[in-house]
Structure 1
Amino acid sequence: MKCSICDIHCQIPEGGSGRCRMMTCRDNRIMEHYPHSYSTLFPISIETMPALHFYPRHKFLQVSTIGCNFTCPGCISEILTMESDTLAGALRRMPPEKVIDLAQKEQCKGIAFCINDPTVSFFSFLDLAQKAREKGLLVGFSTNGYMSDTALAALIPYTDFVNIGFKGATDPAYRFCGVPSCAPVFRNLETLAASDIHVEVAVVHLKGHENEVRQIAEFTASLSQNIPFQVMRFVPFGEADIALEPTIRESRALCRDLETHLSYVYLFNAPGSDQLDTRCPDCGRTVITREFFGPMDARIVDVRPDAICECGTRPDITGTLASQRFDEQGFFGGYRTTRALEMLHAILVCIGADDPSSVSRLWQDLMDTQYLKAFHDLVQLPDAYGEIIDRLAVPTGCTKAGTLLRQFIEKTLADIRSRTRDVTRPKVYYAMGYPLFALNAERFETHLVEAAGGICVNRQLTRKGKPGVTITREELMAFNPDIIFISGFLSCPVSDFHEYCISHDIRVNAVIQHRIYDHFPLWDFGSPRWILGLMHIANILHPDIFCFDMEKEADRFYRTFYKHPFNAQKANRSFYRV
């Protein structure tokens, strides 16, 4: 039977599954495999969706499931979209009435389906949307835009806001994601823009594909120049090619170009950039200041009264601003949840946990016991990493491999600490992206600096964000670090970092002496490969003590735990693909 929910139009045999693996055919009816079953159900800030011009700072209940009708290389939600078979056991079944009760109990303004696409849970979401609107809740979703016109028409009467994401402007860009054509997404954006629904557009920026982003911007502007336009700087996960990642500088330059077509252009995945701010479309003054708050996320840090510019113009914003912003705790919110799951999966890969049934039971246990709460605190502490390994190794029957990994990490950590116990410690600053985005004081990376014999000046920070905060030039000047490290996640080239410092007159010791260093992707947080990052940091801080041959150390680690040699050319930002 043909599925009519998305424009792939799968032919699903009786008892079989469609492309998304979430739909089946029973008694000549298209049905969901897991109706009214959710992977996440917790409150988020609307900016986490992300939506920037719809009821800013208000709290919404995030709902998501598993699976996707796309197969995008480098998907940031790969574990939810591609590992649906093993994660299915962790789904929480909840009828729409209970979901609505939860939203009201949490004092949410509405419900937002995000992280994966609502097409894979279409009937459940449509039912939930209808009932939620009856109770006075706002309803919205983020989507890849590949719904059929009939499915979208069914949802529109019960939808208040949508973030529609583009993968490109051409058919080859969509074939890259496993679907035949870009046409349905342009069609659906036009339909949504003609409705009473608040629409924001998100576009992936791949290096070398700037013209596709421009084409989408021009099409969006032809519908309305006031549609908020979100440029998602591509960060390669999974099997994606690192060469497709533009620098923050390149993405920011593209955004400036797009502002000739659109009133509101924003740049995500660029810590430290000011391209998340809302500027007055009339005079250009900043009305709302935001900062990076994790992958695909932002937070308001300052706003003019009622979001009205000094010139009297109010940017095109739907709804009221909440009096206070809401920040999710730990890993609960948006793509940070998938990051947590992938960090756990990274350990499972390292210890060889590949039995589907035992891994499925583990996921169910981790979700039932709300382990993500404890994991958020433990994963910030190098000394607690062994405890996390044991938590995963025992129930998956990988105790021997888990012990080997734990012993390797703990022995290396202890050795480096012992050799730096009585050294003179240089001052180290840890940035993510651009120079003025500082990692939080208690982050894992600050512990690595201290273990390797440094003083991490980030410890002086009192403000907190996720994973850090924007600081002033004066604050960084006061830190005056001897050495600067750029995070291995959402990074930028050392040359761009140095040039930014020079152009903004940030002349600290590390800049003057050219002591700015980056990492291999994700060698300093999340994956067990952080132990290699610690060796790298030790080499930099104390070259008179340490001379780790990183190529050899990486090859030894990879051969021991991944069962294949290290290949620097294939290193990527996946937590668990190696």
Structure 2
Amino acid sequence: MKCEICEVGCDIPEGGVGRCRMYENNGTGIVERYPDAFLAAFPVAIETLPVLHFFPGAKVLQVCTVGCNLSCGGCVSEMLVEHAEPLAASGTALTTDDLLRLANDQACTGIAFALNDPIVSFPTFCRLAERAREKGLSVGCSTNGYMTEASALRLCERADFVSIGLKGTTDESYRACGARSAAPVFRTIRLLHEGGVHVEASVVYRRDGEDEVLDVARKIAAISPDIPLQVMRFVPFGDAGLDEEPTIYAGEELCDRLRDILPWVYLFNSPGTANLTTFCPACKKPCIEREFFGPMGSHLAGKAQIVCDCGQTIPVRGSVSPEVYYEPGMMGGYRATRGLEMVWAILTCLGVDDRADLARIWGGVLQSGMLGRELHDRMNNIDAYLDLIMDLAHRTGREEEGRELTGYIRKRLDYIRGRVADAPRPRVFYAMGHPLFALNPGRLEGKLVEAAGGIYVNRAIGREGKPGVTISREEFVALEPEYLFTSGFLTSSVEDTLRYCAEHGLDVPAVQNQRVYSMHPSWDFGSPRWILGLMTIANALHPDLFAFRIEEEADRFYRRFYGVPYRAAVHNRSFAHPGTRRQ
């Protein structure tokens, strides 16, 4: 029997399941395997979904199930897709009644299905949408749009806003994700737009993929120039390699070209960029200011007006929220999946790879509300992180492995702390992406700086974001950093950092003395590999005290806790994986 919900069009035999594993043939028809069962729900600001031109600042309840109908390399929601069945069966499901009660209790104005694709739980999503609208809530979702025309029309009747994530315009791009053609996705965009749904589109931008992104813009403009286009600078998670990641500079230059085709273009996954702000097309002044907020996310930050001072109206549906909701801990858009991956990173080092065990732990994290303040605080404090390792080791019966991992880390940590106790402390600034995006005072990276014998000057910045804030040139210069590090999670090369400093007049001792460093991917946050980052920082700040052979230390760590040589891994931005294997 053919499944007619998405364009994959699986032929499912009686008793069998489709490719997404979320539908089965029960002998009378195609039915959901896990109906009306949601994995997680939490309130977020709408910009973290991300949706930018629909009721800016609105607080909505973000919900998800598990699974996807496509399979894309470097997926940001890898654990919800690759571990869909054990997660769905983990016994932590929320019902539609639970969601509506949460939305009411949290004073949300809408419900949005995101993190995984609603098409794999389409009847469930449609039922939720109908009941939410009866309660006066707006309804939206993030989807890849690879659905049948009938499903698109059904979605059109139930959704107020939809964000559609494009893989490109060529059939080749879609075949790489297990689809046949790009055509159904553009049909979905057209049908939703013509049906009165507020539509925004995003496109993955991989290195050397400028022509395809430009072609996406042309196809969107042919449907409507008022559809915002979000350029998702590719960040390699999962099995993707760093050679697929374009620089932030390349993304910004591409956005300049795209605005000759579409007026409303935004750049994501690029901390410090100005390309998240809506500028007036007439006078070029900022109207709705936003900044980076984790993977694929943004947040209002400053001015937010739909009508510019010059009188030009921005094509935004609805009004600006009088209050901006600020998510606690790891909450907010796709930051939640990174939170789950940070737990996975520890479990991997403990040797936990059974899918049922992983699903049980992830389900417990979601159900307990740990993704809020608790996990965030424990991940950002060195000693609390070591306690978390032992907590997870106890939950999985891996106490011996936990003692081995914490012992490895503790031995090197205590050695470094002891050696720098009476040493002079240089001033260190920690950025993410562009140099003017400053990490928060309480971040783990700053704790590593202090453990390595430095003064973390970001502590003097009087405001915070997630994971940091954009500061002014004057604020940066006043900090007088002697060393400048860029985070390993979303980094820039030393060359790009020095170029940015020259362009913006960031003439500080760190730049003058060429003490600028780009950290190794995920060696300074999110994974037990931060101990390698600590040794790297110690070498840089105190070469008179430390001479760690970093590659030898890395090889020792990788062999001991991943079972692979360090040089055998092709590194990326994932926390859980040491990197893909070299062929």
Aligned residue for 1:365?
364
Q: Which range moved further: 440-449 or 332-341? A: 332-341
Aligned residue for 1:2?
2
TM-score by length of 2: 0.97
Aligned residue for 2:194?
194
Contact 2:494 2:517 in 1 (8 A): yes
Aligned residue for 1:309?
308
Q: Which range moved further: 150-159 or 568-577? A: 568-577
Q: Per-residue CA shift, 1:404-445, capped at 9, x if unaligned?
A: 001111111111100110100100000000011000000000
Q: Give the Cα separation in 2 of the matches to 1:521 and 1:8.
A: 35
Which amino acid in the other structure matches residue 419 of structure 2? Answer: R
Q: Give the Cα separation in 2 of the matches to 1:403 and 1:332.
A: 30
- 1:143-154 matched pairs, under 5 angstroms: 143-154=143-154
Shift of 1:561: 0.6
Q: Give the Cα separation in 1 of the matches to 2:245 and 2:384.
A: 33
Contact 1:89 1:364 in 2 (8 A): no
Secondary structure in 2 matching 1:307 = coil
Secondary structure in 2 matching 1:201 = strand
Aligned residue for 1:23?
23
Alignment CA distance shift 1:351-1:93 (3 Å): closer
Contact 2:62 2:113 in 1 (8 A): yes
Shift of 1:568: 6.9
Aligned residue for 2:281?
281
Q: Per-residue CA shift, 1:461-494, capped at 9, x if unaligned?
A: 2211000001000000000100000000111111
Which amino acid in the other structure matches residue 389 of structure 2? Answer: I
Shift of 1:569: 6.1
Q: Per-residue CA shift, 1:193-214, capped at 9, x if unaligned?
A: 2120111110110011111000
Q: Give the Cα separation in 2 of the matches to 1:577 and 1:492.
A: 21
Secondary structure in 1 matching 2:491 = coil
Shift of 1:281: 2.0
Q: Give the Cα separation in 1 of the matches to 2:91 and 2:99.
A: 14
Aligned residue for 1:539?
539
Contact 1:295 1:336 in 2 (8 A): yes
- 1:73-112 matched pairs, under 5 angstroms: 73-90=73-90, 92-112=92-112
Q: Give the Cα separation in 1 of the matches to 2:139 and 2:24.
A: 26
Shift of 1:92: 3.8
Q: CA RMSD in A?
A: 1.3
Q: Which range moved further: 86-95 or 282-291? A: 86-95
Q: Give the Cα separation in 1 of the matches to 2:142 and 2:358.
A: 29
Q: Give the Cα separation in 1 of the matches to 2:471 and 2:39.
A: 35
Which amino acid in the other structure matches residue 325 of structure 1? Answer: V
Aligned residue for 2:574?
574
Q: Which range moved further: 437-446 or 345-354? A: 345-354
Q: Which range moved further: 21-30 or 148-157? A: 21-30
Contact 2:68 2:120 in 1 (8 A): yes
Contact 1:39 1:90 in 2 (8 A): no
Aligned residue for 2:389?
389
Aligned residue for 1:216?
216
Aligned residue for 2:262?
262
Aligned residue for 1:240?
240
Secondary structure in 1 matching 2:371 = helix
Contact 1:437 1:469 in 2 (8 A): yes
Contact 1:175 1:181 in 2 (8 A): yes
Alignment coverage as a number of residue pairs: 577
Q: Give the Cα separation in 2 of the matches to 1:66 and 1:214.
A: 32
Contact 1:439 1:468 in 2 (8 A): yes
Q: Per-residue CA shift, 1:383-414, capped at 9, x if unaligned?
A: 11221111211222212111100111111111
Aligned residue for 1:329?
328
Q: Which range moved further: 392-401 or 448-457? A: 392-401
Q: Give the Cα separation in 2 of the matches to 1:478 and 1:91.
A: 53
Contact 1:271 1:437 in 2 (8 A): yes
Which amino acid in the other structure matches residue 408 of structure 2? Answer: F
Q: Give the Cα separation in 1 of the matches to 2:478 and 2:212.
A: 43
Secondary structure in 1 matching 2:43 = strand
Shift of 1:500: 0.8
Shift of 1:90: 4.2
Shift of 1:563: 0.9
Shift of 1:372: 2.7
Matched, 1:205 2:209: no
Aligned residue for 1:46?
46
Shift of 1:35: 1.3
Aligned residue for 2:581?
none
Secondary structure in 2 matching 1:158 = coil
Contact 1:63 1:114 in 2 (8 A): yes
Secondary structure in 1 matching 2:395 = coil
Q: Per-residue CA shift, 1:294-321, capped at 9, x if unaligned?
A: 11111111225x4321210121000011
Gaps of 5+ in 1: none
Q: Give the Cα separation in 2 of the matches to 1:34 and 1:109.
A: 27
Contact 2:47 2:298 in 1 (8 A): yes
Q: Which range moved further: 94-103 or 494-503? A: 94-103
Secondary structure in 1 matching 2:360 = helix
Contact 1:202 1:231 in 2 (8 A): yes
Which amino acid in the other structure matches residue 229 of structure 1? Answer: L
Shift of 1:268: 0.5
Contact 1:90 1:363 in 2 (8 A): no
Shift of 1:187: 1.4
Secondary structure in 2 matching 1:329 = coil
Shift of 1:91: 5.7
Secondary structure in 1 matching 2:115 = coil
Q: Per-residue CA shift, 1:51-71, capped at 9, x if unaligned?
A: 011000011111111111111
Q: Give the Cα separation in 2 of the matches to 1:421 and 1:85.
A: 50
Aligned residue for 1:339?
338
